[in-house]
């Protein structure tokens, strides 16, 4: 059965691979975003949300972001405010407040604070929450991290506040091979005073190239005291290390063998940008096409189309589209998803359709030029822990890489003492991010990147 649940992920994967060509160095300061929701069955949109970037620091990082929504009377009203602080270039705290109409003021809801070591590796993250609106913040959860000598994360411990002290909840430990590539992640939970296995993930790599070929997931059977296969991903790569074929398989306990589930085929243009992506589903004894994605870029307008496979006519039919408009490298508007109506022969909105209008100031906050690396074939989409190599990185100074989300918030950073094989570890929600690589003196590489969940 064809479903639409897989399409938004494929869209992000395409956007992450195609938009780097449109993305310049961060030169402009975002002022606001106006979000309108689609009216189902029409081409119309209605105002739903406004986001204001009220304050920036001298390095162009947001300090205060205010979001407004329409109330029951149809008037704009404050909804949420986020306040950021930074220390030594790292995010130090994030305070999230929500508007209380009854008292016409903001009340603290959640606070997150972060600490780092001298290399920029995160050592801890602490969250506090207000039990009810207007009440003081209280400890909620905390994460602590450890690293090996190469800066690779080796453990993550999650604890929960029980009202008087921190109690263990879960921990994640990661092992690496001699070249610094992850080989296993073990997830455990604290149960009845001891650590109990729950899940683990293992990586296999191609000899010589070090490219990942297999990622396998298992769960632990406490009764049988054994690991049970669940799923695995099989990867095929081209000569530049980009994925060309990804097969998802699920373990068949009755047959004691792996069974195909889904397959993604990726095609690239001469500029190494992803131009076509096809998702198929295993049915019976053959692959059945589900969706394909492709794009057109002309005059600053980026159109991403998704076709669905018509099994009756044995052909691809128009299904959905996403559109974005750019000027001088800045996104001005994006709209999607809209779905093709065959009877009316036009693109119409559904409940999930959104239109965002982006507004920018003409004050440049970062005019540095990006140095041209010899080659930086980062797998896109990217699964955390996958190694990659960029040519031309300086060997005599540290290299820092970081990820920011689409709102400009830094969600991951890592500082490496020497150039060489790079990788980003840990876990992040799947989605679209901006990856930046920088030496001590110069921005070296910037691109949009999809992180797989």
Q: Which of these ranges, 2-11, 33-42, 46-55, 322-331, has the smallest mean pLDDT?
A: 2-11
Whether residue 208 is contained in a domain is answered as yes
Burial of 73 (0-12, 13-18, 19+ CB in 10 A): exposed
Position 1 in a domain = no
Q: Name which of 9-18, 56-65, 234-243, 340-349 the model is least confident about.
A: 9-18
* DSSP tally for the chain: helices H, then strands E: 1, 28
Question: Considering its fold, how many domains does the chain have in total?
Answer: 1
CB 436 within 8 A of CB 449: no
The pLDDT tens digits for 93-107 are 999 999 999 999 999
Query: What is the domain extent for residue 337?
Result: 7-451
Give 162 or 302, the one with higher predicted confidence: 162
Say whether pLDDT at 88 is over 50: yes
pLDDT score for 313:
94
14 within domain boundaries: yes
Contact 155, 172 (CB under 8 A): yes
Are the C-beta atoms of 393 and 444 separated by less than 8 Å?
yes
Instruction: Give the residue, 321 or 295, on which the prediction is more confident.
Output: 321
Q: Check whether 3 has a pLDDT greater than 70.
A: no
Q: Is a pLDDT exceeding 90 seen at residue 36?
A: yes
Longest dimension (CA), the chain: 65
**Residue 395 — very low, low, confident or very high, per pLDDT cuts 50/70/90?**
low
Residue 2 within any structural domain of the chain? no
Rounded Cα gap, residues 273 and 294, in angstroms: 11
How many CA atoms does the CB half-sphere of 413 hold within 13 Å?
A: 22
Three-state DSSP at 182 gives strand
* Secondary structure E strands in 138-255: 138-147, 153-161, 166-176, 182-191, 194-205, 212-221, 226-237, 243-252
Q: Does residue 325 lie within any of the structural domains?
A: yes
**Residue 69 within a domain:** yes
- Which of the two residues, 144 and 327, has the higher pLDDT score? 144
Strand runs (DSSP E) across 361-428, as ranges?
A: 388-389, 399-404, 410-416, 421-422
Q: Which of 264, 307, 323 is nearest to 4 (CA)?
A: 307
Give me the chain's average pLDDT, please.
Answer: 85
Residue 284 included in any domain:
yes
Map residue 14 onto helix, strand or coil.
helix
The answer to whether the peptide bond before residue 337 is cis (omega within 30 degrees of 0) is yes
In a domain? residue 290: yes
pLDDT tens digits for 225-255? 999 999 999 999 887 778 899 999 999 999 9
pLDDT > 90: what percent of the chain? Answer: 53
């Amino acid at each position: 059965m064809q479903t639409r649940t897989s399409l938004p992920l494929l869209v992000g994967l395409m956007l992450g691979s195609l938009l780097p060509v449109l993305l310049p160095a961060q030169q402009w300061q975002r002022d606001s975003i106006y979000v309108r929701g689609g009216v189902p069955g029409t081409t119309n949109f209605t105002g739903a949300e406004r986001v204001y970037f009220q304050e920036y620091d001298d390095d162009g990082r947001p300090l205060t972001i205010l979001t407004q929504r329409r109330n029951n009377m149809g008037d704009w009203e404050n909804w949420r405010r986020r306040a950021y602080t930074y220390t030594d270039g790292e995010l130090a705290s994030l305070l999230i407040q929500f508007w209380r109409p009854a008292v016409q003021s903001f009340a603290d809801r959640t606070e997150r604070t972060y600490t780092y070591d001298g290399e920029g590796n995160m050592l801890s993250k602490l969250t506090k929450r207000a039990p009810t609106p207007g009440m003081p913040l209280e400890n909620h959860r905390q994460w602590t991290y450890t690293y090996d000598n190469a800066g690779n994360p080796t453990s993550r411990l999650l604890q929960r506040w029980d009202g008087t002290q921190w109690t263990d909840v879960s921990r994640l430990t990661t092992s690496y091979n001699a070249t610094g590539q992850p080989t296993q992640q073990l997830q455990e939970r604290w149960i009845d005073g001891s650590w109990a296995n729950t899940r683990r993930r293992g990586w296999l790599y191609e000899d010589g190239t070090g490219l990942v070929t297999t990622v396998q997931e298992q769960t632990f059977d406490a009764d049988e005291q054994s690991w049970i296969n669940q799923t695995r991903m099989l990867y095929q790569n081209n000569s530049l290390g980009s994925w060309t074929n990804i097969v998802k398989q699920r373990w068949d306990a009755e047959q004691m063998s792996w069974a195909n589930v889904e397959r993604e085929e990726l095609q690239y243009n001469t500029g190494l940008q992803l131009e076509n992506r096809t998702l198929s589903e295993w049915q019976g004894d053959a692959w059945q096409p589900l969706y394909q994605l492709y794009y057109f870029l002309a005059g600053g307008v980026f159109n991403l189309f998704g076709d669905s496979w018509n099994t009756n006519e044995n052909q691809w039919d128009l299904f959905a589209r996403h559109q974005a408009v750019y000027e001088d490298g800045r996104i001005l508007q994006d709209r999607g998803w809209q779905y093709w109506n065959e009877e009316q022969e036009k693109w119409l909105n559904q409940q999930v359709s959104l239109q965002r209008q982006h507004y920018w100031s003409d004050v440049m906050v970062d005019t540095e030029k990006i140095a041209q690396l010899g080659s930086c074939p980062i797998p896109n989409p990217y699964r955390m822990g996958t190694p990659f190599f960029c040519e031309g990185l300086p060997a005599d100074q540290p290299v820092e890489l970081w990820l920011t989300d689409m709102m400009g918030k830094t969600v991951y950073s890592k500082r490496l003492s020497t150039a060489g094989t790079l990788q980003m570890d840990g876990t992040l929600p799947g989605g679209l991010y901006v990856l930046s690589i920088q030496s001590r003196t110069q921005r070296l590489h910037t691109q949009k990147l999809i992180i797989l969940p």
